[in-house]
A and B are shown apart, each in its own frame.
Chain A
């Protein structure tokens, strides 16, 4: 019998559609505007009494809320709209003070039975929900330089223990190392020693001006390794810092070889977020130089003394420990009410601190604050403005205190300017130091009201376009138009389902992609239907015309869609940001529309006309 699917085929198609329906369903439940509470420190726990206190203050301030709950991340309070959410955030921040992090959030309202199936709504991009986007660049040159500095001291120690007398080990501008010897046989011995121990080095020897040199370059693979390490370390540190900000669903991701994307949905205060994220601060603990120390072993840095007067401090070049030895840091106040930071060191750091301070009681120890910064200069080159970044390092002494007794693995830093400074310093020390300095390349803030408006307009235009297409198909193809329209609607459902399952992020260009898919998805059905019309004109009977129409059109649909899909996949691979969002919806749309336009329409046509004698088709 012509045009009849076997039962299993119908059942399978319906099953796929049902599954699609289930996974698309969460998108029907719009997210609630919510405020998320979490402790700024481990000691501050969000519990029921605290939540009750917050609710009471909200009631007092006449801010209405929908619901509150305790989650594993802290407390969550839901609000009816974004305006009350913003009001509420103010009220709650005032009530709780600095001890808790109060963040704007969107809370899903997906019913439990759906979530238990792993179904959830599509994530909304920053352009649709508001928030901050940063693109950071990791300074790879200084990551490599830092590593080379470590090599310099390693090489010196090695040569000394092997009793090979060198004249100098220098770190050259172009990123290579140079060793200078006065005798050629010593140089050659050093060469074979280094070649044996450092396979990652490319070593050349050179004779000039009565001296003998070795120049050392790092192998490309080693440079890559250092860079990868720097990126990974920075990613971890940035994640820690972002978590301390208390943002819900933050995104910290590597992009390309040396870039990191940070997206903070809901955050509006870009400047504050930037201050915390962008701090490339580290600490160095050093002893104050003795008055008779030679100039070559000391360095002088600015310092504000107890009376807040600008002063200078001269320190030894040797570093006792750096901030990376810090295992925990808490801000608090000392007996006189001055801000301080309590520091715990790891085992190795504690040992080093102990060994150094044992011989230095009554001397002063400095905490040096090291910050990598950059200033951007604009130059005109060939008529085009070119931004040039000049990196520089700012170092200042934040505390210079007399060592009263031998220090161990925990001690405190006093002499900080303000409570804000002490809590930021504690946060940075806890969250770890960056392996290499970072710079802000790009920064975008989208207001929540703008995001809301984007969604509204996007959804509205999808609806209008969709209805227009439905009406047109109905008028042009009548009964077949109805069937195509059902398939088109199911296509939209399937598209949402796949997008949700992939947990793809919906962006404004993504919405545009959906709109385009709606327009193009009818193409397959149009191809089939016009073929059927043609076959009817050629004099084929109704059933054969249907069958021939579907079969003939298939090759065309397949070729046309595969080529478009090819283009979309390349877009996804090459593009970034909006291009990527668009490519995802387009590719998914092509695949789902092939399924619905060919299989689902065929099933519907078969159910309507198939398996019986039909004189005339309404097409």
Chain B
């Protein structure tokens, strides 16, 4: 009937499930043990960015700050070796930026410029963390309702499982590598939800169609057919998205680096999960032809739901 090559995706489903579970366990374990390295947006504190004309000696800067009484200051380069980022624990003082600049300027031949000076209260961070988490839960719930309504409850379980899988693994990677988790990364995480959802829905859509169209009722085979048919699209879309994300990661500057990294990981995991997690969940839930037959329409008819 079709010349489409069918790959035996589901042949590997047990291995894939094992891999997913292993990754999830590592992520959860790392989140429990290491936690996330929350950025300034969440912890509160002061952040000062200073521009140098020539590359400074980082250790020298640290010593200078230490002797001036800023014991907890973290000094690192930001993007280029002449841009220095200084982070310190809570200190509510608008003059801090100028004071630090003065401290660094002393004994320095070159002219330094204060590029950024932020004070962020920790209380806000806590609230945002709660709100961000709450937003994510609400988003997941709404998606579940929509998918259950448009498809079928089993599909919505599959989609949400895939989403939770992707979000947890991205968080896990950030936890294992101890990358800074700030608000832009949170935004990226939410974008991962959007992307992964997009992918999963496209695959689910084809699965639904094939359950109704194909005579076969072996769900594993239908998964294989559906995944093979959508494979081209899945790879092309992931590839174009990855292309722009790489442009963003390489050329976008330090301030959105975390954002780009989180999305890069998210898109890779999301592509994998749309193939293995969602379809796997459907098989485990025992999806069958009867689940998807619209009762009011005659059998064998091609169902095209134009909204």
A450-464 vs B, Cβ < 8 Å mask (1 yes, 0 no):
100110011011101
A526 to B235, CA, bound (A): 10
- Contacting residues, chain A, for B251 (C-beta < 8 A): 457, 460-461, 464
Interface residues of A in 413-450 (CB under 8 A from B): 440-447, 449-450
Partner of B205, one of A442, A511, A559: A559
Q: How far is the CA of A516 from the CA of B242 in the complex (A)?
A: 9
Q: Taking the complex as formed, is A468 at the interface, i.e. its CB lies under 8 A from any CB of chain B?
A: yes
B248 an interface residue at 8 Å Cβ cutoff? yes
Interface size class of B (residues with CB under 8 A): 35 or more
With A512-B184, A512-B260 already in contact, the answer to whether A556 and B197 are too (CB < 8 A) is no
Q: Which residues of A contact B183 (CB under 8 A)?
A: 509, 577-579
Asked if B113 and A442 make an inter-chain contact with CB atoms under 8 angstroms apart, the answer reads: no
Q: Are A523 and B198 in contact (CB under 8 A)?
A: yes
Q: Which of B49, B116, B147, B240 contacts A519 (CB 8 A)?
A: B240
Question: Which chain A residues lie closer than 8 Å to B195 at the CB level?
Answer: 516, 520, 564
Contact check, A555 vs B89: say whether CB atoms are below 8 A apart. no
In Å, the complex CA distance between A512 and B232 comes to: 26
Distance between Cα atoms of A576 and B120 in the complex (Å):
14
Do B244 and A466 touch across chains, with their CB atoms under 8 A apart? Answer: yes
Whether, in the assembled complex, B243 has its beta carbon less than 8 Å from a beta carbon of chain A, the answer is yes
CB distance from B254 to the nearest CB of A (A): 9
Instruction: Write out the residue numbers on chain A whose beta carbons fall within 8 Å of the beta carbon of B250.
Output: 461
Distance in Å: Cβ of B86 to nearest Cβ of chain A: 14
Closest A-chain residue to B92, C-beta based? A376
B2 touches A537 (CB 8 A): yes
Q: Which residues of B contact A534 (CB under 8 A)?
A: 2, 4, 229
- The distance in angstroms between the C-alpha atoms of A571 and B146, with both chains bound, is 16
In the complex, B29 has a CB within 8 A of chain A? no
Residues of A within 8 A of B124 (CB): 135, 441-442
**Distance (Å) between the CB of B24 and the closest chain A CB?**
21
Verify A563–B143 contact, CB threshold 8 A.
yes
Map CB proximity to A onto B172-194 as digits: 1 under 8 Å, 0 otherwise. 00000000000110111011011
Q: Taking A445-B117, A465-B244 as contacts, is the C-beta distance between A476 and B256 under 8 angstroms?
A: no
In the complex, the answer to whether B201 meets A559 with C-beta atoms within 8 Å is yes
A512 in contact with B237 (CB, 8 Å):
no
Tell me the complex Cα distance, A429–B188, Å.
46
**Which stretch from B12-20, B102-110, B128-136, B291-299 is at the chain A interface?**
B128-136
A520-B187 contact given A378-B90, A457-B252, A567-B139, CB 8 Å threshold: no
Q: Which residue of B lies closest to A271 (CB)?
A: B94
Report whether A446 and B116 are in contact in the complex, using a CB–CB cutoff of 8 Å. yes
A103 surroundings in chain B (CB, below 8 A)? none
Partner of B201, one of A518, A551, A560: A560
Contacting pair A387 B304 (CB below 8 A) = no
Residues on B close to A: CB < 8 A?
A: 1-4, 44, 49, 51, 89-90, 92, 94-95, 97-98, 113-124, 128, 131-132, 134-135, 138-139, 142-143, 146-147, 150-151, 183-184, 186-188, 190-191, 193-195, 197-199, 201-202, 205-206, 229-230, 232-233, 236-237, 239-248, 250-253, 255-256, 259-260, 263, 304-307
New contact pairs (10) apart from A447-B116, A560-B202, A573-B135, CB-CB < 8 Å: A444-B117, A444-B119, A447-B115, A461-B251, A468-B244, A522-B240, A538-B3, A551-B304, A564-B197, A575-B131
A-B residue pairs in contact (CB < 8 Å), sample of 20: A135-B121, A387-B122, A442-B120, A442-B124, A447-B116, A453-B253, A468-B244, A468-B247, A473-B240, A519-B244, A523-B240, A527-B233, A530-B232, A534-B2, A552-B304, A563-B146, A564-B195, A567-B139, A576-B131, A577-B183
